[in-house]
Structure 1
Amino acid sequence: MQADPLHILKSVFGYDSFRGLQEEVIHHVVAGGDALVLMPTGGGKSLCYQVPALCRPGVAVVVSPLIALMQDQVETLRQLGVKAAALNSTLSFAETIEISRQMRAGELDLVYVAPERLLQPAFLDQLARCSLSLFAIDEAHCVSQWGHDFRPEYLQIAAVAERFPGVPRIALTATADGPTQREIVERLHLTEGREFVAGFDRPNIRYRVGLKATPKQQLLRFIQEEHRGDAGVIYCQSRAKVEDTATWLREQGVEALAYHAGLDKTVRAANQDKFLREDGLVMVATIAFGMGIDKPDVRFVAHLDLPKSLEAYYQETGRAGRDGLPSQAWMVYGVQDVARVRQMIEASEASDDKKAIERHKLNALLGFCETARCRRQVLLEYFGDSCAPCGNCDTCLEPVETFDGTQAAQMALSAIYRTGQRYGSQHVIDVLRGQTTERVRSLGHHRLPTFGVGSDWSEADWKSMLRQLVALGHVLVDIDGHGGLFLGPDVRPVLRGEAKVAFRKDPSAKAKRSRDSQRPTLNADDDALFQALRACRMDLARAQGVPPYVIFHDTTLLELAVRRPDTLEAMATVPGIGRGKLDRYGQAFLDVVLSAGSVAAE
C-alpha cells in the first residue's frame, strides 16, 4: 500500500500543507505519470520528486549535474531520516559496491547520479535488477542547446524511457523560456507527460540595476550598508577579476572567497565547502560557481559584469533567498560590458542561427537593464509570465522618467558618422557639445556640421544617451581597438525619423537608497533568541561536519524565536520540524528557547 503524500510531507519534512502546484504534481507522479515541472528556485521543486519517491515502492534515481549538489541534497535527506545516497567519482570502490547492494536490496529511497553514470551500460544493467520508483531529471534545462548551462550528456537521458518504459519520469527546472521548454519535452521524450508551470516570480528578491561608476566602491557600500555579515555571491566575468575583487574585499574587512575554474581543484573545493558550512561569507566567482549551490540563506547576489542572458541572470540571481526571506539581486553595468558581450557573440564559432538567438537574448537583457517599467514585469514577461507592478524593485521604489530622445539620437548618430566611426564616446561628446579641445581642433572636427549641435545637453546627459544607444544596438563599440564607436546595422529608420527613440533619465547618484524590508523584523528579545538558536545550530553542524542549513533553515529558527515553544510537542508544530529532526535536535533547541525565557523572566 502506498503512503499518503500529505502524511509524508508532515512526518518527514515537517510541513502541514503543500504549496502551489506541488500537490497536483506529486499525485500525478505517484500515480505513475510523466511530468515537466517549472517552478521558481525556492518554490519546492525537490519535494515534487522526493515525496513520490517515499510514497512509491522501490528506489528513485535522481539525475543531478554536480557532485556538490548531490552531496548537499543527500545530507539534507539523511538529516530527515530518509535513506538516500549519491553515486559519484568521490566514492571508493568499496563504497560504490555497498550502495549498489543497497539499491538491489531495496534499502534506499533515493540515489543521486550524474548523467554520465546513468548512461553507463553496467549501471543500466544494475538498474534492471532493482525495483525503481521513478526517474527525476533535475536542472533539466541542461538538455537545451540554446540554454545557458548546456550539458551534452543530458541529450542521452531519453534512453531510460526506452529501457524502463513503466517507470515515471519527472524533469524539473527553474529556468526555461518557451523554446527551451519545448526542447526539454522533445529531447527527454516527455510528449505524453503533463507540463506543470508554476510561474517564475521570486517575490522575496528585490531587483536593482545601477550604472558603473566606481564598481568596487559601489559594491562595498552595498555590502556594508545593507548586507553586513550576510552570505552573498558576487559574479564577475573573468578569473582575474574574481581574484582581484576577492582580495580587495578582504582588505576592506569583508570575508570573501574566490571561486573559478582556474583555481587548484583542492582550493576550489575547500572554498565552496567553507562557504556552505559557515555563516556570513561572500563568494566572488565566475559562473563556474553555479548549480551546485543549494545554500538557502544567501541574502544577496551581485553582478559586477553583465551575465550572458536573462535566463542566466534569472538562474544566478535565483541563488539568493531560497528560504523565502527578503534578499537582493544587485547589478552594475556600463557600455564596455555591452560591447564585450556583443564581441563574444560575434567572435564565437557558433552558427548564424545560434548567433541570432544570442543577439536576441542580449537585447532582452539590455531591455531589462534600461527599462523604466517595473523590472519584475519585464523579467517575468520574458518567460511568458506576468505580474502587477511589484513595489519591490528599484524602478518601482524610485520611478524613472522617460523622454522622446529621437532628435538627440539623430545628433549622436550623425556625429559618430561624420567623425569617421572610429573615436570613443568622449571625443564624440566634445564634438556634440562644441568643445574646442586640442584633439577636436587638430582633427578639424570643429568645422563639422554636427559640432555644437548638442550643446544644450550636459556631458553626463550625452554619456547616458550614448550608453542607451549602445544598449539598443544603434551604436556599436570597437572593443579590440580603443573603444571607438560606429553605427549599428539598423540605424537608417532613426536617422530618417521613421523610428522613435525613447531615453530614460538616469536616477540621481544621490537618490535615496531603499533598504526597508530587507531583513526580517524582530524585536530585541526575539532577535537575541534567534542569534542564540543560530549559534546552537552552528555548534551542531560543526560537530557533524555538515552545513548549518541541513539542520534547520533560518525560517524555522525565526519561527522558533517568535513562537517560543515550551515543549517538544509544541515544537513539532513549527514548520520545517519533522519527526526525524525533532527526535535528533528538538531537545537541544528547546533548551535554548527555555533558557532565553528564564533569562527574560529574571
Structure 2
Amino acid sequence: MPVDPRAILQQTFGFSDFRGVQARVIDRVLAGQRTLAVMPTGAGKSLCYQLPAVALPGTCIVISPLIALMHDQLRAATAIGIRAAALTSADDNRAETIARFRAGELDLLYAAPERASGESFRALLQQAPVALFAIDEAHCVSEWGHDFRPDYRLLRPLLDAFPAVPRLALTATADAHTRADILVQLGLPDDGLIVAGFDRPNIRYAISPRQGTTQQIAGLLRDHPGPGIVYAQTRSGTEKLAAALAATGRPVRPYHAGLDPAVRARNQADFVASEDMVMVATVAFGMGIDKPDVRFVAHAGLPKSIEAYYQETGRAGRDGDPAVAHLFWGAEDFARARQRIAEVEPDRQGSERARLDALGALVETAGCRRRILLRHFGEEPGERCGNCDNCLNPPAAIDATQVARKFLSAVFRTGQMFGTGYLHDLLVGKSNERSLMNGHEGLSVFGIVGDDEAPLVRPVARALLLRDALRANPHGGLEFGPEARAILKGEATVSLIVPPKRERSRRRGGAAGADANPIGDPLFEALRACRRALAAEAQVPPYVIFHDATLREMAAARPTTLDALRDISGVGERKLDAYGAAFLAVIRDQG
C-alpha cells in the first residue's frame, strides 16, 4: 500500500500542509534518492527525516554533532509518538537501545559522528533494516564550513556499506563552496541539491556601535520578554555580563567551556525549560539547543564570520514567531581580528581577510542588512526587506573625509604611537599634562577640529579601523594600515552612518509585538500555565507540549471538543490523547 505523507503529517505531527521545500525533500527520500537540503533554521528540517522514519520500514539513523541537540530532538519525537533512542556516552540504557534496534522497535536512532564512523557501529547496523541515513548539521563535514568536525569526513565508508539506503544531508548554513564539498564528501549527486533559501523573515536584524554594552543589552532585555541568548567573546566577559544583566530582574545564567560541567549542564537545562531566561554565553553554546521560542539573540562583540553570525542569530525565532538579532560592535573588534589573521598560516590569510571584509560591509552599510546577508549566500533579494534597523529607520550618511584626513595627520605627526582618546583631545585642542610633556600642543593638528566636527572624531576613528586605514599596535596605539594612503591623498572618501535617534519602544513593540505573543490575554495566559504544569509533570520543556503558535490558535478558535482541537495546527493524535482534555478544560473554565 503506497505511503501517504500528508496523512502522516496530519496524524503524527498535527500539520495540515508542508512548508517550503519539505514536500520535495520528503518525496526524494521516500523514492530512495540521495539529497542535500539547505534549509534555514526554523524551516522544519527535522520533519524531513522524522516523517520518512515513520513511513518507511526499518530505522532511520540520524547522525548529529552534539548530545544536547540529540536529546532535545529525542524528547520532541517521543512526545508525538515516534519511537526514538540515542547511543551516546550520556545514555546509560545502551543495551536496551541496541535490543530495541535489533528487534525493529525504533523509528529513529541518534548517534554522534565519532560513534557512527566506527566499525562496531557499522556492524550493529548490519543486524536490522536501516531505512535512511540522515546527516544533520552537514556543513560540519566541510573544511570550508565554520563548524568543521573531522569525524564527519569519516562517515563515507558507513554510508557506502549500505548503498541501497537513501541519504539525506541537512544544513542551514552552507555557501556554494561548502555545499559542493558536502556533496563530494557524502557521496551525493549534484542534482540532489535542494536549496530553500537563507531568509529568516521573522528575524529583525539590528547593528549598533558599542556605547556602554551592558546598558545597551539591558535595554534589549527590557524591550523583549521571553528567552534570549547573549553572546560574549570571552569566558570572563560572559560571567561579568551575566552578573550585570541579572540586575534587570530577569533570570540570567552564564555558559562557557570553563564552567564546572555539572553547573554548565544545569544552566542549559534551566534555560531550555524556561519561558523568560537569558543565557549569556560564549559561542560554545547554541548549536546543541533546539529551543524554538528564543525571542532575541544579542552579540556583545563581532562574530567570527557572516556564516557564524547567521548560524548564531538563527537560534532566535525557530518557532516562526517574531524575534530580534542585535549586534553591538566596536572598532577594536576589527583590530583584534586583523591581529589574529596575521598569526594564521599565510595560505589562509586571504580567505580570513575576505570573511572579515564581509563582516565590515554588514556593519558599515546604510542599506538593508538582510540584503548583505543573503547576497553573501548567493541570493539576490530586493533592495529593502522592511525588517531590519536600516530599512525601518533609514540612517543618514555624511561625508567625514576631512575629519578622517585630520585624524590620520594627527596619527602621523605624533609618531603612530597614541590611542583614540589622546588623539581626540589633541585634535579638539584640549590641553593636558601628557600632551604638554610630549610637546604635541605645538603641532599643526592641535585644535584643528572645531566644535561642529568634534562629535565625529571617535566615529571616524572606528570607521578608519574598520576599513583597515588604521591598525592598533600591541600597546594600544594607532598606526597606519594599507588604506590610509588613499584617504590622505584624496583618492578615497570616508562616509559615516549617523544612526537615527532611538525611540523608546513599547514593551512588546515592533517585530516581537503584542499581536505576535499576546501576553495579557487571560485565556492565552491560562493555556500557558496549563502547558507549564504539564511540562513540569512530564519533565520536559514547555515547548515540547505545544508551541506558543498552537496556544494562540487555541485562544482564538476556542475549540470545545476533541475533534475541533484536532484541527488546531500542531495537535497530532498522540498529543490530542495526552493533553487534549486538559486544554479543553482550561478553555471551558475561561468561558
Q: What TM-score does the superposition give when structure 2 sets the normalisation length?
A: 0.95
More deviation, 395-404/290-299: 395-404
> Within 1, Cα distance between the matches of 2:518 and 2:370?
33
Matches within 5 A, 1:403-418: 403-418=398-413
3-state SS of paired residue (1:521)? coil
> Within 2, Cα distance between the matches of 1:237 and 1:526?
36
Matches within 5 A, 1:41-80: 41-80=41-80
Contact (CA 8 Å) 2:156, 2:186: kept in 1 or not? yes
1:401-428 Cα distance to aligned partner (Å, 9 max, x none): 1233333333322322222111101222
3-state SS of paired residue (1:271)? helix
> Within 2, Cα distance between the matches of 1:523 and 1:47?
25
Deviation at 1:2? 4.5
More deviation, 59-68/431-440: 431-440
Contact (CA 8 Å) 2:62, 2:109: kept in 1 or not? yes
Deviation at 1:593? 0.9
Q: Does the alignment pair 1:298 with 2:298?
A: no
Q: Does the alignment pair 1:268 with 2:264?
A: yes
Contact (CA 8 Å) 2:206, 2:327: kept in 1 or not? yes
Residues 321 and 525 (structure 1), Cα distance of their counterparts in 2 relative to 1, 3 Å cut: closer
**Residue of structure 2 aligned with 1:554, choices 532, 548, 560:** 548
Deviation at 1:108? 0.9
Contact (CA 8 Å) 1:175, 1:311: kept in 2 or not? yes
**Residue of structure 2 aligned with 1:564, choices 554, 558, 569:** 558
> Within 2, Cα distance between the matches of 1:155 and 1:69?
20
3-state SS of paired residue (1:209)? strand
Matches within 5 A, 1:509-548: 510-511=502-503, 513=505, 515-521=509-515, 527-548=521-542
Partner of 1:600: none
> Within 2, Cα distance between the matches of 1:364 and 1:394?
18
More deviation, 295-304/456-465: 456-465
Contact (CA 8 Å) 1:236, 1:284: kept in 2 or not? yes
> Within 2, Cα distance between the matches of 1:448 and 1:409?
17
Contact (CA 8 Å) 2:322, 2:516: kept in 1 or not? no
Deviation at 1:456? 5.9
1:356-388 Cα distance to aligned partner (Å, 9 max, x none): 222211221122112100111111111112333
Partner of 1:502: 495
3-state SS of paired residue (2:109)? strand
More deviation, 449-458/321-330: 449-458
Contact (CA 8 Å) 1:305, 1:331: kept in 2 or not? yes
3-state SS of paired residue (1:298)? coil
> Within 2, Cα distance between the matches of 1:281 and 1:55?
37
Residues 490 and 188 (structure 1), Cα distance of their counterparts in 2 relative to 1, 3 Å cut: farther
**Residue of structure 2 aligned with 1:469, choices 438, 461, 464:** 464
Matches within 5 A, 1:288-437: 288-347=284-343, 350-388=344-382, 389-437=384-432
Matches within 5 A, 1:438-449: 438-449=433-444
Deviation at 1:437? 3.7
Residues 170 and 476 (structure 1), Cα distance of their counterparts in 2 relative to 1, 3 Å cut: same
Partner of 2:200: 202
Contact (CA 8 Å) 2:133, 2:159: kept in 1 or not? no
> Within 2, Cα distance between the matches of 1:419 and 1:506?
31
One-letter amino acid of the counterpart of residue 440, structure 1:
S
One-letter amino acid of the counterpart of residue 298, structure 1:
V
Contact (CA 8 Å) 2:40, 2:198: kept in 1 or not? yes
> Within 1, Cα distance between the matches of 2:302 and 2:333?
6
One-letter amino acid of the counterpart of residue 21, structure 1:
V
More deviation, 116-125/400-409: 400-409
1:68-124 Cα distance to aligned partner (Å, 9 max, x none): 1101111111110111111111122xx212211221221111111000110111110
Deviation at 1:314? 0.9
Contact (CA 8 Å) 1:34, 1:192: kept in 2 or not? no
Contact (CA 8 Å) 1:2, 1:57: kept in 2 or not? no
Equivalences, count: 588
Deviation at 1:457? 4.6
Partner of 1:14: 14
One-letter amino acid of the counterpart of residue 424, structure 1:
G
**Residue of structure 1 aligned with 2:275, choices 267, 275, 279:** 279
Contact (CA 8 Å) 1:367, 1:471: kept in 2 or not? no
**Residue of structure 1 aligned with 2:172, choices 157, 171, 174:** 174
One-letter amino acid of the counterpart of residue 312, structure 1:
A
More deviation, 435-444/522-531: 522-531
> Within 2, Cα distance between the matches of 1:432 and 1:495?
16
Residues 193 and 168 (structure 1), Cα distance of their counterparts in 2 relative to 1, 3 Å cut: farther
More deviation, 190-199/16-25: 190-199
Q: Does the alignment pair 1:591 with 2:547?
A: no
> Within 2, Cα distance between the matches of 1:91 and 1:472?
50
One-letter amino acid of the counterpart of residue 162, structure 2:
F
Contact (CA 8 Å) 1:464, 1:506: kept in 2 or not? no
One-letter amino acid of the counterpart of residue 491, structure 2:
E
Residues 149 and 393 (structure 1), Cα distance of their counterparts in 2 relative to 1, 3 Å cut: same
Deviation at 1:513? 4.5
Partner of 2:187: 189
Contact (CA 8 Å) 1:36, 1:196: kept in 2 or not? yes
3-state SS of paired residue (2:10)? helix
Contact (CA 8 Å) 1:62, 1:135: kept in 2 or not? yes
Deviation at 1:443? 2.2
**Residue of structure 1 aligned with 2:241, choices 242, 245, 261:** 245
Residues 557 and 511 (structure 1), Cα distance of their counterparts in 2 relative to 1, 3 Å cut: closer
Partner of 1:109: 107
One-letter amino acid of the counterpart of residue 539, structure 2:
G
Residues 405 and 179 (structure 1), Cα distance of their counterparts in 2 relative to 1, 3 Å cut: farther
1:153-207 Cα distance to aligned partner (Å, 9 max, x none): 1111222232111111111111112222222222222235511111111111111
> Within 2, Cα distance between the matches of 1:9 and 1:175?
26
Deviation at 1:238? 0.8
> Within 1, Cα distance between the matches of 2:100 and 2:401?
70
> Within 2, Cα distance between the matches of 1:410 and 1:121?
64
More deviation, 38-47/248-257: 248-257
Contact (CA 8 Å) 2:202, 2:320: kept in 1 or not? yes
Residues 287 and 134 (structure 1), Cα distance of their counterparts in 2 relative to 1, 3 Å cut: same
1:437-475 Cα distance to aligned partner (Å, 9 max, x none): 443333233343444443365332111111011111211
Residues 264 and 523 (structure 1), Cα distance of their counterparts in 2 relative to 1, 3 Å cut: closer
3-state SS of paired residue (1:149)? coil
Deviation at 1:507? 3.4
Residues 520 and 172 (structure 1), Cα distance of their counterparts in 2 relative to 1, 3 Å cut: farther
One-letter amino acid of the counterpart of residue 488, structure 2:
L
Partner of 1:227: 224
Deviation at 1:526? 7.8
Contact (CA 8 Å) 2:36, 2:169: kept in 1 or not? yes
Deviation at 1:49? 1.5
1:332-377 Cα distance to aligned partner (Å, 9 max, x none): 1212222223333333xx3223232222112211221121001111
Residues 294 and 494 (structure 1), Cα distance of their counterparts in 2 relative to 1, 3 Å cut: same
> Within 1, Cα distance between the matches of 2:437 and 2:274?
60
Matches within 5 A, 1:571-590: 571-590=565-584
CA-atom RMSD, angstroms? Answer: 2.0
Q: Which consecutive residues of structure 1, in runs of 5 or more, have no partner in the other structure?
A: 598-602
Contact (CA 8 Å) 1:36, 1:193: kept in 2 or not? no
> Within 1, Cα distance between the matches of 2:157 and 2:448?
66
Residues 443 and 205 (structure 1), Cα distance of their counterparts in 2 relative to 1, 3 Å cut: same
3-state SS of paired residue (1:403)? strand
